[in-house]
Amino acid sequence: MKMSTNATALAAWAQDLRWNLLRSRLKRGRVLLILFLAMLVFPGLARSETIAPYQKRIHAVTTMVVGIISYARWPTEPNPIRLCVTAPVQYAEGLFDPVLLMAPRPIKTLRIDLDSPQLGTSCDVVYLGEVNAVQKQEFIHQITDHSILSISEKDEECAAGSAFCLQIGNDQAGFKVNLDALARSGVRVHPNVLQLARKQVPPL
């Protein structure tokens, strides 16, 4: 009788152990499923931390370019403002966000080839990527006598070419101004634009 009781107790204990193990696995599975779904809904959680600085630079460049444009005035106000991206670029992704078309001064971003005649006739702002010396001279020739605000992504010296030259680094974006190029552009930019270069870009 005692052996029967012990056997029954042992069987019950084994059954409880199996259920506890099963419940533990189910809970662990639910946690993994929730994490997986979270990464699908919020892709940033699945990305490597090394990508974060690149995304921050895109955000910084977008904020800076839109800020510069907000201080610009053309002889005839364009609606929308046509922002043309040309030449190889690294940080222009955010400039193609459709939300810019819903801004108080809507911005429509286009991708145009560097040698296209449309660069001088279909753009109010040009975001210029990496170019060599010859291409830079050709670009200057194309936009001369047109009211076009030019912003370079890669021109640290800013001695010739674009009116504004972005200075990108440490997840932030500043700029230099080429006053001669700005005067030739025919676009008026309020001096308060210089405050942008002193401000920290707001976080994502």
57-96: pLDDT as tens digits: 999 999 999 999 999 999 999 999 999 999 999 999 999 9
Residue 22 has pLDDT above 90, yes or no: no
The pLDDT tens digits for 150-189 are 999 999 899 888 999 999 988 889 999 999 999 999 999 9
Contacts with 161 (C-beta within 8 Å, 6 or more apart), sequence order: 128, 136, 139, 140, 150, 152, 155, 178, 181
Residue 39 has pLDDT above 70, yes or no: no
From the list 67, 96, 90, the residue with the least C-alpha distance to 153 is 90
- pTM equals 0.73
Cα gap 129→111, rounded to integer Å: 11
Q: Which two tokens stand for residue 24?
A: 């533990």
